[in-house]
Amino acid sequence: MKVALLYGGPSAEHTVSVHSAQNVEKILHKLGHHVIDIAIDLNGHWFLQKGPVDEHFSTEADVDIHPGEGLFADGKKLEVDVAFPVTHGHGGEDGLLQGLCALAYIPLASTDTLSSSVMMYKSIAQRLFSSAGIPTIPTYVIEGETIKECENEDEWGELLLTCRKTCGPSLFVKPEDGGSSIGVTPLDDPDEESFSEAVLLARNYGERVMVQQLVKPMCEVECALLEDPSWGLVCSPPALVVNPTKEKAKYLTYATKYALSGGDSLLCPAPIPTADQLTIMSYAKTAFAVGKCHLYARVDFFYNDGHIWINEVNTLPGLTLTSHYPVLIAQNGYTMEQVVAILLDDALEQYRKSLEKTYIPPVS
C-alpha cells in the first residue's frame, strides 16, 4: 500500500510526534509498504519529504488537501491508499485532522473526529466516564475568562479556596486539553503565588485549566486496547509506571517520559491484586466504548491501595522507541508490526463502509 505518514503539527508535542513517526516509518517499510512522508510544521503547514523522517524537514514541496479529492503536492495528486497519523496534541489528536481527512476522502488509521475531540478535552470525557460508573478524580475546571479576571483583579486567593474545597488541600494543575506532562504542576500545599503560577503555566498550553486532587502516593497504571477483527476489543493487563525520579518529582515529567535511557519503565503486569487488575481492565473497555473510540488507545489510571480513578484515554498513543503502548500490548502477544497491519486494514474497511452510506437527499 501507499501510506501517507503524517507527523509533526502545531503542538507542544511536536517532537514526540516526529520520534513516533521515525519508529512507525521503519515498521511500515518492514511490512513492505511504500511510505509517503508528510511533515506538518509548527505553523500547521504541510510539506512532502523526499527522505526518511527527520526533525529538520524540508519545506520545498507544499502539500495541499482538497475536500473530496485527497492530497496534492506541486499541483499533482498524491496517490495515497491510506494515511497513518502519528500526530499528538492540538491539530492532530483533537479531531481536527480526523475531520479534515474525512472531508478529503482519505482513509485514516485513527479513531474518528468525535472520540478524538471528546477524549482530548478531559473534563468532558470525565462526565462520560462518570455516567458509565467509572470513578474519576475530583476536578475543578477554570475557564479562560476567569483566569483573566484573576490576573486583572488579583483574586487568586478566592479561586484557590474554591479549588481546594472541591479537590482537597493538595492539587494537580494541568491544561484540560494537553498531554505528555507539558504545562503540569503538582502542588502539595499551594499558596496564592504557587497556585497562580501553576494556573498561568497550564493556560499557556490549553483553552481551560483543570485542577484536580493530587493523589499521594501517585501510582499510575495503564492499559493498551486494540480492536482485533478476529478477537474483538483486546485489553492488556494493567502495568505499573515506574518513575525513577520519584524522590525528586511527584509525577512523570516530559523529560522522564521521553528519555532514551534512564527514563520511566513499566512493570508488567502491575503488582496489584488480581481483582483490581480485572476492575481496571473492565473500566478501560467501558471508557473506550462510551467515548466511541475505535482502533486503539491507551487508558491511564491512578491507583492507591485499592482505590482506582481513571485519568485519561489517549486515542493516538505515542509510538516512539520508549513509548508505553508497544510494551503494554506485547503482553497480549502483539508485535507493533501486527498492530500497524491491523490499523491499516481497518482504515480501508471503515472507509469502504463510509462510502456505503446514503448521501442523496430524499425527493419531496
CA 42 to chain centre: 18
Q: Mean pLDDT, to the nearest integer, of 14-27?
A: 93
Q: What is the pLDDT of residues 10-19, one digit of tens each?
A: 888 888 899 9
Task: For residue 145, count CB atoms less than 10 angstroms from its CB and return exposed for 0-12, middle for 13-18, buried for 19 or more.
Answer: exposed
Find, among 349, 273, 329, 279, the residue nearest to 308 by Cα: 279
Q: What band does 249 get if pLDDT is binned at 50, 70 and 90?
A: very low
- The full length of the chain comes to 364
Q: What is the DSSP letter of 251?
A: S
Cell digits for 277?
487488575
Q: Mean pLDDT, to the nearest integer, of 73-94?
A: 92
Q: What band does 180 get if pLDDT is binned at 50, 70 and 90?
A: low
Q: Mean pLDDT, to the nearest integer, of 226-254?
A: 79
CB 212 within 8 A of CB 174: yes
Strands 185-187 and 232-235: unpaired
Predicted TM-score of the model (pTM):
0.90
Q: Mean pLDDT, to the nearest integer, of 107-129?
A: 94
178 backbone φψ class: left, alpha, beta (φ>0; ψ -120 to 50): beta
Q: What amino acid occupies position 361?
A: P
Task: For residue 115, count CB atoms less than 10 angstroms from its CB and return exposed for 0-12, middle for 13-18, buried for 19 or more.
Answer: buried
Cell digits for 297?
488507545
Q: Mean pLDDT, to the nearest integer, of 39-45?
A: 94
The CA distance from 97 to 106, in Å, is 11
Chain mean pLDDT for the chain: 90
Q: What band does 251 get if pLDDT is binned at 50, 70 and 90?
A: low
